[in-house]
Amino acid sequence: MESKYTLTAGTKDYVLKENQSPKGLRHNDIRPTTLKIEVNASFDRKSLLHHINYLISLSKAMAQ
């Protein structure tokens, strides 16, 4: 299974693959408010830090 990240803005779902940019995601000027994460991976320290940074970028794309 490949890692998948689903952001929801209003009634619209945006499915991203790992490291795909979430910048600019909106549906009728609504930013994503929820995130569903499906990850099937093992992490060493370096890859875990990379994954955490990606999660931070997803968080920044969400509504505040």
| Predicted pLDDT of residue 5 | 94
Evaluate if pTM is beyond 0.75.
yes
Percent of the chain past pLDDT 90, that is, above it, reads 61
Q: Strands, E, within 1-64: which ranges?
A: 4-9, 12-17, 34-38
| Predicted pLDDT of residue 24 | 83
Domain, as residue range, for 32: 4-61
List all residues 6 or more positions away from 63 whose beta carbon is below 8 Å from its beta carbon.
Answer: 9, 30, 31, 32, 33
Give the confidence band of 64 by pLDDT, cuts at 50, 70, 90: low
What one-letter code names the amino acid at 11?
Answer: T
Number of domains in the chain: 1
Q: Averaged over 18-47, what is the pLDDT?
A: 91
